[in-house]
Amino acid sequence: MVSIMCKMVINSIEDGREDVLMDLRKVLSQPSYVPPKDTRILMKEILFTSYMGTTNSSMETRKRAEDLANTLGAYHYNATIDEMVKGSLSTFIETTGFTPKFKAYGGGEQEDLALQNLQARSRMVFAYLMAQLIPVVVKKSGFLLVLGTGNLDEGYRGYMTKYDCSSADINPIGGINKIDLKKYLVWAAKKFDWPTLLDVSNATPTAELKPLSDKQTDEEDMGMTYEELSIYGHLRKDELCGPVSMFVKLSETWKSKLSREEIAKKVKFFFRCYSINRHKMTTITPAYHAESYGNDDNRFDLRPFLYNNAWEYQFKKIDELLKE
């Protein structure tokens, strides 16, 4: 998106748009700057990216990040944040005397999740540190904006850590669902000859916050597919569905591929996840409103953020419908 923006800026200036040129010079703090025709050169001035890996990150994702930055021309840093994570963890161990472990190493569910969240939150801290100090490193003035990279469906499911790497100044893709996002990557790969985007699009989504021996994928972690999430989002927001009406609608839509019992189980699971994670939407990073079921609590979805997550009356009603 930033690279396409740079292309539009260069084209506008070539068309004689003095106001765009003045804005660009102001952003770059370079009063006499004249943009080159090569978008990649302007990108070096505009976009700074960092792969923030840990021991749980794979070489494949690290390489994809580096290849994509090189393709677009972004100023890229390869970072390893294990020492940050270890520092926080050692302080906790020293304070409490307790050493948490991943499930793969004999720990419990809460320990495993806490260790994943620690890595994710460390990335947020490091991103803001980079945003404030990279200009000093490259001898520029001012500060950088932090861009978020969580999509709409992950927010709706609550598949994110509060105040983690989803926290940013603005999230360009925060209002786009995963299905459309993958289509967008494929379109941009062909339109602008960026084959690296196809590698990104074809890769299995994974947070890589667990040990690599414990194979982690986003859809498995969420307990639902991105396609299902998109359907739930439309039904919940656009069609104003609660648990019962969603079950009734999906019983008709999915009757050829799932039993009513399976549909009931999926609906209950979604609403439980939705209700216990709804509070995260009160702090979600502002995003371009691109989908009708936007989940930003402060702008697009004014539903309550505190629910009784047992949904006792509604789930009982679904059970009654199942028996009929």
Question: Exposure of 178 by Cβ count < 10 A (0-12 exposed, 13-18 middle, 19+ buried)?
Answer: buried
Residue type, 230: S
CATH number, domain with residue 320:
3.40.50.620
Q: Is residue 66 in a domain?
A: no
Q: What is the pLDDT of residue 218?
A: 84
Q: Assess whether pLDDT exceeds 80 at residue 89.
A: yes
- Domain count for the chain: 1
**DSSP 8-state class, residue 33:** -
Q: What is the pLDDT of residue 204?
A: 87
pLDDT band at 287 (very low <50, low <70, confident <90, very high): confident
Q: What percent of the chain has pLDDT over 90?
A: 76
Q: Average per-residue pLDDT in the chain? A: 93
Q: Is residue 252 in a domain?
A: yes
Q: For residues 86 and 108, what is the distance between their CA atoms, to the nearest angstrom? A: 19
Q: Is residue 208 in a domain?
A: yes
Q: Assess whether pLDDT exceeds 80 at residue 213.
A: no
Give per-residue pLDDT as tens, 178-190.
999 999 999 999 9
Q: Is residue 244 in a domain?
A: yes
Q: What is the pLDDT of residue 195?
A: 92
Q: Assess whether pLDDT exceeds 90 at residue 259.
A: yes
- Which of the given ranges, 95-109, 149-163, 201-215, has the highest pLDDT on average? 95-109
Q: Is residue 11 in a domain?
A: no
Angle formed at CA 225 by CA 221 and CA 231, multiple of 5 degrees: 135
User: pLDDT: is 298 or 142 the higher one?
Assistant: 142
Q: What is the pLDDT of residue 298?
A: 77
Domain range for 195 is 151-324
Give per-residue pLDDT as tens, 40-84.
999 999 999 999 999 999 999 999 999 999 999 999 999 999 999
What's the whole-number mean pLDDT along residues 237-251?
96
